[in-house]
Amino acid sequence: MASIKDVAAAAGVSVATVSRVLNEHPSVSADARTRVLAAVEALGYRPNAVARSLRTDQTHTLGLVISDVLNPYFTELARSVEEEARALGYSVIIGNADERPDLQDHHVRTLLDRRIDGLLVSPTDGGSPLMLDAARAGTPMVFVDRWIPGVEVPVVRADGRAAVRDLVAHLYGLGHRRLAIIAGPAATTTGSERVEAFRAAMAEYGLPLPDAHIGQGDFQAESGRRVTEGFLDLPEPPEVVFAADNLMALGALDAIRARGLRVPDDIALAAFDDIPWFVHTDPPITAIAQPTGELGRAAVRALVDRIEGRDVPASVTFAARLVVRRSCGEPAPQEPSPSPVQRSTS
């Protein structure tokens, strides 16, 4: 592969001049410029990004470590992150942690070794020393969706409290009283937060939430299946199952179907995170939707602001919203229009 030396030789100038042409340095003659450009064209020369990075100490690359690529929510997040990053002149390397702390660590380490300019993380757990050290050492970092409390890193996320309250209100209005939740791992903020919001809303309506109605899941379909089976085995099973993410909802559906039960007649179902398929499941599933695209874009902008030293980025919080469909027992009205965005500084 042709290097800058070959170009310099072909154009009859020094490598310094070639570099200046390529980087649009002002002080280079028109004559030299055209000769260099011609040589570049003729040789099909492309600068070696590895060498360039070594010298300039920047890779123009962002790392994105997400919890699970197979989850459509994170896929959409990844897509919007890449899109915004590309618009700002950055590439993205995605690391899929599969909800496993060891894999998360592996990816963070690899990304750091590659000297990415900044890191976007949706942490799978409380944070390994590795990640915390990196944050403390000054690696530009932004948490997205999930975060780690007590760490000085901006967070871009959606707040589901209000939507969860809306959901409980909706369920209460339909006459449901025994509600159960399939929670995510307590080590994740979204895992514990959604349970907390649910518990608070239940209390608000004077409904009991026995421990038996809080199932411990791990955001994967299989755990949704397992927990739901447990619920169904209860002497008095819940009337509603609320899954804290869409994959566990899928598992719950599997379990319910395996028993030959029907939604919502025998048991109602709702989920956190909306996806296009929820419109076509049997029945269409009531869900809490996050403004995923905006989340991804805002996170990238915050991170790039930090990298390029414009200012210290603030945390951003969007609102999630309830989308009522038929899985809890009533014909759905129109799909509501998107809710307004709310920003806050932390």
Spatial distance between the Cα atoms of 122 and 103, rounded to a whole number of angstroms: 13
When asked if residue 2 is in the footprint of a second copy (CB under 8 A), the reply is no
Spatial distance between the Cα atoms of 8 and 83, rounded to a whole number of angstroms: 35
Of residues 57, 152, 211, 265, which one binds DNA by CB under 7 A? 57
Torsion of CA 79, 83, 88, 93, to 10 degrees: 40
Of residues 20, 35, 76, 295, which one binds a second copy by CB under 8 A? 76
By three-state DSSP, how is residue 229 classified? helix
Single-letter amino acid, residue 1: M
Spatial distance between the Cα atoms of 148 and 119, rounded to a whole number of angstroms: 14
Site for a second copy in 194-233 (CB under 8 A): 221
When asked if residue 331 is in the footprint of a second copy (CB under 8 A), the reply is no
When asked if residue 26 is in the footprint of a second copy (CB under 8 A), the reply is no
| Contact region with a second copy (CB under 8 A), list: 165-173, 212-220, 251-259, 298-306 | 251-259
Of residues 24, 44, 55, 89, which one binds DNA by CB under 7 A? 55
When asked if residue 94 is in the footprint of a second copy (CB under 8 A), the reply is yes
Structure tokens at 269: 């179902």
The answer to whether the beta carbons of residues 238 and 213 sit under 8 Å apart is: yes
Closest CA to 153 of 316, 342, 344, 315: 315
When asked if residue 60 is in the footprint of DNA (CB under 7 A), the reply is no
When asked if residue 16 is in the footprint of DNA (CB under 7 A), the reply is yes
* Residue 96 touches which of a second copy, DNA, none (Cβ within 5-8 Å per kind): a second copy
CA distances in angstroms from 332 to 96, 137, 175, 283, 329, listed in the order given: 36, 51, 16, 11, 9
Matching residue, tokens 């006459």: 175
Spatial distance between the Cα atoms of 202 and 207, rounded to a whole number of angstroms: 5
When asked if residue 112 is in the footprint of a second copy (CB under 8 A), the reply is yes
When asked if residue 53 is in the footprint of a second copy (CB under 8 A), the reply is yes
The answer to whether the beta carbons of residues 326 and 264 sit under 8 Å apart is: yes
When asked if residue 106 is in the footprint of a second copy (CB under 8 A), the reply is yes
Nearer to DNA, 13 or 289 (CB): 13
When asked if residue 249 is in the footprint of DNA (CB under 7 A), the reply is no
Of residues 9, 10, 24, 29, which one binds DNA by CB under 7 A? 29
Phi, psi (5° rounding) for residue 52? Answer: -60, -45
By three-state DSSP, how is residue 111 classified? helix
Spatial distance between the Cα atoms of 268 and 265, rounded to a whole number of angstroms: 7
User: In whole angstroms, how close is the CB of 326 to a second copy at the nearest point?
Assistant: 10
| Contact region with a second copy (CB under 8 A), list: 33-41, 75-83, 146-154, 310-318 | 75-83
Q: Which helix (H) or strand (E) holds 114?
A: none
Of residues 42, 49, 186, 234, which one binds a second copy by CB under 8 A? 49
User: CA gyration radius for the chain?
Assistant: 25
When asked if residue 262 is in the footprint of a second copy (CB under 8 A), the reply is no
When asked if residue 15 is in the footprint of DNA (CB under 7 A), the reply is yes
Q: Contact positions toward a second copy, by CB under 8 A?
A: 1, 44, 46-51, 53-54, 59, 69-70, 72, 75-76, 78-79, 82, 86, 91, 93-94, 96, 106, 109-110, 112-115, 133, 137, 221, 250, 253-254, 257, 276-277, 279-284
